[in-house]
């Protein structure tokens, strides 16, 4: 079966490579010629475990192709996945569907035989139905169906999540489209993942509801950590205590600097916007959006407070810039707001991330880049842990502390146990746990 995937970003590239691995002939289209050139030269532009091997292997096998030419990719494809971005619309919180509608128009122009056009992008309820009308209006003669097939992969484990999903959701009004999607996903459903067929609207809502619910858990645990800071109690123990309740579970109960990434912030805003527009305000999700914005906005004050009120003239080491571990994605990462705020207030920022590079990102103008965590900490007044990279868990904390101007740490991921930190010279601030006071006096400046 020939499959076209429009958009070769995080979702399109991972989906395309995995579908090629199943043996389909996959054509990934991207309008970004540089990205396509890089991919054709064998360079995978995103950091995702297992993706390089999958891309290279399937390119070599002749099953995975990259092109800017939508027409040739879509021609005679039985399935066409739309995996383009759906960012927050300028001026309001709704999802901007310009790329999706643009891709749909381009596909419509090219249809030459039956195809099922599948939205894999996260799109608001009503989109699949609108796309069907849009394509029908452009090509009354064409033979096609539309299906809504939201993607649930997580960055950092995207390949594994695509190959071993908890479920596959397909919204469709056509048996023919359902059969094609059943064939496409057979290698996954064979191993037990349920394939849920539903209507367009339910499929679209499932995606936003899932992200909204997970974001809500994060906002909940973050505020619970704040409460622990005020009244005592250890958030790690409290989270464990509630997580053992089978009705609750342990996932998404780790406090952090505020959720970021390309999905939760924009999808919660879009869900709230959809609900407002529909006259069924989703006040719980509105509160999640507000709580998260406030949390990220308060990070600067948190750093300032740990440094006795001012960051000016301080050397601040940041460990981890990506919005979470195992990815190089910076979209809506807490670092994107915090780093420029620190620099603007007169701090010198030294950053280390295992995979993120400056790449001319304006948020990181003036930042000094270290090659290791130890290099970043050298001579610093404070180390801030912003991303929960595994390699930070194994750092020699005494060595790190000794190289600093003064051993102060702000751990915004609660990576270290209090017992472990107590053996080091660190003054240690984490989230929702007790602050550890220094066991040794700070070095004179």
Ligand X SMILES: NC(=O)c1ccc[n+]([C@@H]2O[C@H](COP(=O)([O-])OP(=O)(O)OC[C@H]3O[C@@H](n4cnc5c(N)ncnc54)[C@H](O)[C@@H]3O)[C@@H](O)[C@H]2O)c1
How deeply is 69 buried, as exposed, middle or buried, from its count of CB atoms within 10 A (0-12, 13-18, 19+)?
exposed
Task: Report the residue from 11, 218, 409, 412 that binds ligand X according to the rule CB under 6 A.
Answer: 11
226 binds ligand X (CB under 6 A): no
35 binds ligand X (CB under 6 A): yes
For residues 12 and 320, which CB has a smaller minimum distance to ligand X in the complex? Answer: 12
* Interstrand relation of 79-82 and 25-29 (parallel, antiparallel or unpaired): unpaired
Q: How far is the CB of 7 from ligand X (least distance, A)?
A: 3
Q: What is the largest CA-CA distance in the chain?
A: 80
For residues 9 and 320, which CB has a smaller minimum distance to ligand X in the complex? Answer: 9
Q: How far is the CB of 324 from ligand X (least distance, A)?
A: 10
Task: Report the residue from 102, 223, 358, 403 that binds ligand X according to the rule CB under 6 A.
Answer: 102
For residues 40 and 283, which CB has a smaller minimum distance to ligand X in the complex? Answer: 40
Alpha carbons 281 and 217: distance in angstroms, whole number: 19
Task: Report the residue from 1, 2, 31, 52 that binds ligand X according to the rule CB under 6 A.
Answer: 31
Q: How far is the CB of 389 from ligand X (least distance, A)?
A: 18
For residues 85 and 427, which CB has a smaller minimum distance to ligand X in the complex? Answer: 85
Q: How far is the CB of 365 from ligand X (least distance, A)?
A: 23
What number of chain residues touch ligand X (CB under 6 A)? 27
Task: Report the residue from 29, 74, 299, 319 that binds ligand X according to the rule CB under 6 A.
Answer: 29
Q: How far is the CB of 325 from ligand X (least distance, A)?
A: 14
Query: x/- site string to ligand X, residues 112 to 141, per CB under 6 A?
Result: ---------xx-------------------
155 binds ligand X (CB under 6 A): yes
Q: How far is the CB of 63 from ligand X (least distance, A)?
A: 20
For residues 55 and 348, which CB has a smaller minimum distance to ligand X in the complex? Answer: 55
Query: x/- site string to ligand X, residues 289 to 328, per CB under 6 A?
Result: ----------------------------------------
6 binds ligand X (CB under 6 A): yes
Q: How far is the CB of 109 from ligand X (least distance, A)?
A: 12
Q: How far is the CB of 267 from ligand X (least distance, A)?
A: 7
Q: Is 252 left (phi over 0), alpha (psi -120 to 50) or beta?
A: left
For residues 78 and 328, which CB has a smaller minimum distance to ligand X in the complex? Answer: 328
Task: Report the residue from 32, 109, 226, 234 that binds ligand X according to the rule CB under 6 A.
Answer: 32
Residue 368 neighbours by CB under 8 Å, 6+ apart: 348, 349, 350, 351
Among the listed residues 18, 28, 228, 263, the single catalytic one is 263
18 is catalytic: no
For residues 162 and 352, which CB has a smaller minimum distance to ligand X in the complex? Answer: 162
Shortest Cβ contact with ligand X: which residue? 9
86 binds ligand X (CB under 6 A): yes
274 binds ligand X (CB under 6 A): no
48 binds ligand X (CB under 6 A): no
83 binds ligand X (CB under 6 A): yes
262 binds ligand X (CB under 6 A): yes
Angle at 360 between CA 295 and CA 386, to 5 degrees: 30
CB 151 within 8 A of CB 83: yes
Task: Report the residue from 3, 5, 9, 392 that binds ligand X according to the rule CB under 6 A.
Answer: 9
Task: Report the residue from 78, 151, 328, 388 that binds ligand X according to the rule CB under 6 A.
Answer: 151
CB 7 within 8 A of CB 152: no
- Interface with ligand X (CB under 6 A): 6-12, 29-32, 35, 83-86, 99, 102-103, 106, 121-122, 151, 153, 155, 262-263
Catalytic residues: 263
């Amino acid at each position: 079966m020939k499959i076209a995937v429009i958009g070769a970003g995080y979702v399109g590239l991972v989906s395309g490579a995995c579908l090629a691995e199943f043996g389909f002939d996959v054509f990934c289209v991207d309008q970004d010629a540089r990205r396509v050139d890089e991919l054709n030269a064998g360079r995978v532009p995103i950091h995702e475990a297992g993706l390089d091997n999958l891309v290279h292997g399937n390119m070599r096998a002749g099953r995975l192709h990259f092109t800017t030419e939508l027409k040739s990719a879509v021609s005679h494809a039985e399935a066409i996945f739309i995996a383009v971005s759906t960012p927050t619309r300028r001026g309001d919180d709704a999802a901007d569907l310009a790329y999706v509608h643009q891709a749909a128009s381009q596909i419509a122009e090219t249809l030459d035989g039956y195809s099922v056009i599948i939205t894999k992008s996260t799109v608001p309820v009503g989109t699949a139905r609108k796309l069907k009308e849009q394509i029908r209006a452009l090509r009354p003669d064409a033979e096609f169906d539309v299906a809504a097939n939201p993607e649930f992969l997580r960055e950092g484990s995207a390949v594994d999540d695509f190959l071993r999903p908890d479920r596959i959701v397909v919204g469709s009004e056509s048996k023919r489209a359902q059969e094609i999607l059943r064939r496409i996903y057979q290698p996954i459903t064979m191993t037990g993942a349920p394939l849920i067929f539903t209507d367009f609207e339910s499929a679209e809502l499932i995606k936003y509801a899932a992200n909204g619910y997970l974001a809500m858990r994060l906002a909940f645990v973050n505020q619970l950590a704040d409460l622990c800071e005020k009244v005592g109690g250890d958030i790690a123990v409290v989270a464990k205590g509630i997580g053992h309740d089978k009705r609750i579970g342990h996932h998404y109960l780790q406090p952090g600097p505020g959720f970021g990434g390309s999905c939760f912030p924009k999808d919660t805003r879009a869900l709230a916007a959809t609900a407002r527009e529909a006259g069924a305000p989703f006040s719980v999700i509105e509160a999640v959006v507000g709580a998260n914005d406030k949390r990220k906005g308060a990070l600067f004050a948190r750093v300032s407070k740990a440094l006795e009120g001012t960051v000016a003239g301080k050397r601040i080491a940041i460990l981890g810039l990506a919005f979470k571990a195992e990815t190089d994605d910076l979209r809506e990462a807490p670092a994107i707001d915090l780093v420029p705020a620190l620099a603007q207030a007169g701090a010198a920022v030294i950053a280390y991330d295992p995979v993120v590079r400056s790449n001319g990102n304006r948020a990181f103008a003036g930042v000094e880049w270290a090659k290791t965590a130890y290099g970043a900490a050298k001579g610093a007044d404070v180390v801030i842990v912003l991303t929960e990279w595994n390699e930070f868990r194994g750092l020699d904390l005494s060595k790190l502390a000794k190289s600093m101007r003064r051993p102060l740490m702000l751990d915004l991921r609660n990576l270290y146990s209090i017992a472990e930190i107590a053996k080091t010279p660190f003054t240690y601030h984490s989230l929702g746990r007790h602050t550890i006071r220094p066991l040794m006096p700070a070095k004179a400046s």
